[in-house]
Chains A and B, each alone.
Chain A
């Protein structure tokens, strides 16, 4: 390096020779352009932009110039260094983009690989449909009531007007508990919840009661000794069979689709009077299969109607057993089998699938059936 120029000698160090400066810039730019990746660019930076680079040397040689020449030389060197640094920056940005792209390309996966690492849960359709029914009734102002499955005989029979020697009492194939005088049974229907509700709640009463019930049937494709019912009960001033029929039609449409209605047939239950069997219009064929052998319907056996449950006006004797004056209040009640509802709603053909606990069956229904 030249010594400091204190004597204002007109000298021009070689490094500041414009031709040399230009050559250094050219060499730097071509090295930068030639750098194909970030390490190569780092090397080019070391050679052409570091403290030991020709341009850095040129910058230091400015001190050797007479004061009058310093400004012009400084400007020239500054421009040269600026050009090199700008090229470095641009090249670095371009190389970074290229590098990111290369990595992303190399990280490509087969997204069709299935990740079934964690278990997936599901709910039993008996319970999801019970909640579905309860929710429907909650939306029209009914409460939800549950109760014990091992029930006092008075609640299961006597209070429901099924007296001790009534044929219905054996008709229902009851599971009796313990000694003959235990006074307790496994409830044969959800109707004792009518009694439990009416004993604790003053009218107006509007409730639905889903629950598990028991009859001594052997398990086969269409029967199970342990099954589920949903009971509906309304007791208020001025309720009539028109309210009963209207509510059942609304229930049918809610569960099986707009326009599906019910049909009532006179029947007998000790705890309702008048009583009726509830038939559901076949939601699969809507009656079109009746008398039409070309279009048979498996859901209703081409009958057009499906037996759904029982219903009626609450028998005044039941109201009196609960301390309610039947001259002031009337009520209606209905009960449907949940398994039955589920079987024809989902096309389940074998009851055993509902009770055996095979996880493959439940899993198909997911979280909400």
Chain B
């Protein structure tokens, strides 16, 4: 809401010389969010001029006019590209030496073959509004007079972001009320100042069936359609950011800005029969003033006549009954519509208007008649209208008092606030305080509970009076075990040399296709956003890999030769269609309802993904480096898991988007924890990454569930070690890990460790075989091993290996 300071001062007895900045600061202190103070920003000569002659220059691509303009002391020749003015019009002329907003300096210069001795200004050029199709035509003014006063540029305008609880501040009346409160000065209510009107003459009957608890119509006849809006009205509408349209429309807008009551003017001659306020019929349609044909929802409220719907109640009028430049008879509607109905309609039709913004925040329900009368007076005064009869249907409920403990502000704010202060503050904001019952004023529908009154007391007493001491100390005892374990997992990749990145968790089907996921892959079961930022990414991620791959591609595009990156974050799994019940607020939902709300959501485990590509260790003066490969991915995955004491088992797998022959399935106690290995070359190519790029994706929730936060200490034997090496020839298809496990199992308790130290495939072994060499370390906890012990362990281990077809290499 833009509010000119001069207008505020009409109703609030502010100090004469108060600056706009100070008003803004005081308003902020009582809770109005003043976003900016727009003050005069045109410097130098800006005067009222009269156009004397217009010469149309036709040799240019667009229409150009060379005008003779009387600016008081002389007549100046000025070039202008606009065509919305005629000889005799009063215009705003910026003369050489003037500086317009944005530092735009005006000087005499040659253009289009003439010397242009100034500029005729548009609303946008002066920072008044966004109009730039034509120049400003002034309604009044003396030639040569400073145009700032005529345009209201000598006035400051406060731009206030009105919070949803303060609908009444979408009016000068409301803002002036707050300004008077902030300065502790007198407020004169403009609504109370509207003279009463006789209810005589023709009337417009109303059949009120739904949606409003107050509905008035006032008939106005003999309106002069050629009457123009007065300069003050045009100026104020413009200052408030509204576009002057016609006198009838301007009056309704002006009264709305002044008092906060949306009004609607119908062309009475286009109405047929009584006005009905009702729910729409099935499939009923309405073309609103913005020329959109709308199919009405059964929950909307419409104003209708015998022809059908003629307005969307509280939101926007219809085209068929619009005031036009021949309208002479008007029906003025002033009503009070329910806030949530209007909000719902506005949302359903994606249509927000000045009226709907006010109704959905709550309009003073005692304002309709005063606003209607105010507008009627203006129609009579400015358009010579005869004021006809009034129909006023009023079914409002009385405002109930709030039972209020005057000690509550002290308890909540923490300052000692005497009861007398509480009563004084509440009275000043318009409440009727009667003992422990407080009746809020009609313009404050947001005041419903004692806590609402506490806030009023607190803001007027002043938040700046609240002192500071030590922080409120909690009762906790530090990070929980799961917090600490999760932090270890999140941090470990960075300790291992990886750089953490973040990406947006949005995903497109094309990205899942690029990963080569089969049609039935669970990662294709994704939640779809109703309003995604981009139609290409309407899904919530089910895997971190596409995001990480895109980040990798961006880094490669910016010149990175090698990459070691990781990301952790939630993925959204197993549910494509969410159906969560929504319970009432105000009481704790029943257990089964809570359960239903929670279980309807997708599973959202935290995943961690790693991508390594290019050099792991670099080449340099020390020699040649080494590229990342599939084994790095598995090594890193296992190192991350070990951060929480989890040992990952590795098995061969074929799983997109990994290379079908270079993918490891990682499990803990048989539960799938993730995959690691080299990426499929198609994926590497699609993302333009260095060859042999490798990746990991882990489900951290699985690791956390298996975590051993307390490590059991090993028994360290001090007896001598015995070392045995064995080379075994096996089928190529057999995994080294299977063979290693067999040796471990066969060797039993005396076998301390088994380590693979060589893999050989070549002429020394048959084509379909390979040789795997292991070193075995044997040790007992209580004695030195004998030769027999050693032989026994070795034979037992080899026997277990033999079950997998392993033969000792000769």
Contact = CB atoms under 8 A, between A and B. Distances in A.
B475 interface: yes
A247 B331 CA distance: 57
Interface stretch (A26-34, A66-74, A90-98, A124-132): A124-132
Given A166-B164, A243-B414, A246-B468, A148 B579 contact: no
B496 interface: yes
A177 B530 contact: yes
A179 B529 CA distance: 9
Interface stretch (A47-55, A181-189, A294-302): A181-189
B771 interface: no
A156 B497 CA distance: 38
Interface stretch (A6-14, A99-107, A357-365): A357-365
B584 interface: yes
A274 B604 contact: no
Count chain B CB atoms within 10 A of each CB in A117, A171, A247 and give the residue with the most: A117
Contacts of A134: 479
B462 to A, nearest CB: 9
A275 B456 CA distance: 11
Interface residues of A, number: 109
Contacts of B452: 273
B758 interface: no
A226 B415 CA distance: 39
Given A165-B344, A178-B530, A359 B480 contact: no
B587 A166 contact: no
Interface in A180-233: 180-184, 186, 199, 204, 206-207, 212, 216, 218, 225-226
A241 B468 CA distance: 10
Nearest to B490: A127
Interface string A259-278: 00101111110100111110
Contacts of A245: 466-468
Nearest to B479: A138
A226 B588 contact: no
Nearest to A160: B585
A344 interface: no
B499 A246 contact: no
Contacts of A150: 527, 540, 572, 578, 601-602, 604
Contacts of B464: 263-264
A274 B454 CA distance: 7
Interface in A146-191: 148-155, 158-159, 161, 163-168, 170-171, 175-184, 186
Contact of B470 (A226, A239, A246, A367): A246
Query: Do most interface residues of chain B lie in helix, strand or loop, or is the interface mixed?
Result: loop
A124 B576 CA distance: 31
A177 B554 contact: no
A164 B581 CA distance: 13
A117 B565 contact: no
Interface in B585-618: 585-589, 594, 597-598, 600-602, 604, 616-618
A335 to B, nearest CB: 16
Given A123-B494, A124-B501, A141-B473, A171 B164 contact: yes
B578 A184 contact: yes
A33 B58 CA distance: 115
Contacts of A360: 558
B461 to A, nearest CB: 10
A154 B581 CA distance: 8
Contact of A183 (B31, B475, B579): B579
B518 interface: no
Interface in A12-65: none
Interface in B477-502: 477-480, 483, 487, 490-491, 493-502
A360 to B, nearest CB: 8
Contacts of B617: 117-119
Contact of A153 (B413, B555, B582): B582
Given A117-B618, A357-B554, A155 B527 contact: no
Contacts of B411: 240, 330
Contact of A154 (B475, B576, B597): B597
Interface residues of B, number: 112
Contacts of B586: 317, 320-321
A253 to B, nearest CB: 10
A171 B33 CA distance: 15
A115 interface: yes
Contacts of B498: 119, 121
B578 A266 contact: no
A121 B344 contact: no
Interface string B448-472: 0101101100110001101111111
A181 B414 CA distance: 42
A246 B469 contact: yes
Contact of A206 (B33, B475, B588): B475
Given A124-B502, A247-B472, A148 B604 contact: yes
B497 A241 contact: no
B530 to A, nearest CB: 4
Contacts, number: 321
A116 B560 contact: no
B471 A250 contact: yes
A196 to B, nearest CB: 9
B68 interface: no
Nearest to B620: A117
Contacts of B503: 355, 357
A182 B494 contact: no
Query: Do most interface residues of chain A lie in helix, strand or loop, or is the interface mixed?
Result: mixed
Count chain B CB atoms within 10 A of each CB in A168, A226, A250, A357 and give the residue with the most: A357
B86 interface: no
Contacts of A249: 468, 471
Interface in A308-360: 313, 315-317, 320-323, 326, 330, 332, 354-360
A240 B413 contact: yes
Contacts of B57: none
Contacts of A256: none
A216 B531 CA distance: 8
B471 A321 contact: no
A355 B547 CA distance: 11
B479 A225 contact: no
A140 interface: yes
A240 B469 CA distance: 12
A111 interface: no
A45 to B, nearest CB: 39
B496 A154 contact: no
Contacts of A3: none
A152 B414 contact: no
A161 B587 CA distance: 11
B597 A124 contact: no
B578 A313 contact: no
A143 interface: yes
B250 interface: no
Given A149-B505, A151-B601, A357 B578 contact: no
B709 to A, nearest CB: 17
Contact of B412 (A159, A207, A313): A313
Nearest to B342: A165
22 contacts: A113-B621, A121-B495, A141-B476, A144-B479, A148-B570, A151-B601, A153-B580, A171-B164, A206-B475, A218-B533, A234-B472, A241-B413, A245-B468, A246-B467, A246-B471, A246-B472, A264-B463, A268-B165, A276-B463, A320-B587, A359-B555, A359-B565
Given A177-B527, A273-B455, 15 more contacts: A117-B617, A141-B477, A144-B483, A150-B601, A150-B602, A151-B601, A153-B580, A242-B415, A246-B468, A246-B470, A246-B472, A247-B472, A251-B471, A315-B451, A320-B588
Interface of A: 113, 115-124, 126-127, 131, 134, 137-138, 140-144, 148-155, 158-159, 161, 163-168, 170-171, 175-184, 186, 199, 204, 206-207, 212, 216, 218, 225-226, 234, 236, 239-247, 249-251, 261, 263-268, 270, 273-277, 313, 315-317, 320-323, 326, 330, 332, 354-360, 362-363, 367
Give the 4 A-B residue pairs with the shortest CB-CB distance, closest first. Answer: A206-B474, A240-B414, A266-B31, A141-B474
